[in-house]
Amino acid sequence: MEEKEFDKRSFFWEADTETYNELQKLIKFVSFVSELKECSEEDKIKAGKIIDVIKNLHHAELISHLGIDLDLKDHSVTIGSNKKPGVYLRKWRVWFECEFFQIEAASYHSDEPGEYYDDQYSYNSFVSFNKDHDSSNGYERKSINEDINEFVNDALHYESYLTKTLNNVEVDIDIWG
């Protein structure tokens, strides 16, 4: 008996034109982050591959697991009984994993560890590429509540969030799986 090769196209939803066009706006974010001095040559190569994935989202077989993060950290702010209060993390993040494309911008403050800090801009959107996720079976296909350009523009102005101590810029670009 001949084994059939797994066809990703039968499993993944192919983005409609509106969703595809909206996600193309992320290319500007990926390009920007890859040009920061904190990026290595290897990071820049990975960023190029991520841009290729975004450009080809309508070809489900090209989708990989990926992530790109721009983080500002303050290592002097601690959480616990001897805490020094303040924002300890500001992040912009795009990742694709387990059929979900997720986009997030958030700040975290020591007064509410693990919770979004409401006094600063936040963004959270997703698109499910699981073919079975749609409103007919109780799943939301996508949640893009605000134009992705707002997320991108906030990231492009990351320096406005820098402070005397929230000044450690870190970039993580990865492709796996």
Q: Which band of pLDDT confidence, cut at 50, 70 and 90, is reported for residue 4?
A: very low
Pick the range with the lowest mean pLDDT from 1-5, 53-57, 163-167.
1-5
pLDDT, one tens digit per residue, over 90-125 is 899 999 887 788 999 988 777 765 555 566 778 999
* 79 backbone dihedrals φ, ψ, rounded to 5°: -115, 135
pLDDT, one tens digit per residue, over 118-166 is 667 789 998 887 777 666 665 677 888 889 999 999 999 999 999 888 8
With beta carbons less than 8 A apart as the criterion, state whether 86 and 74 touch: yes
pLDDT of residue 78: 61
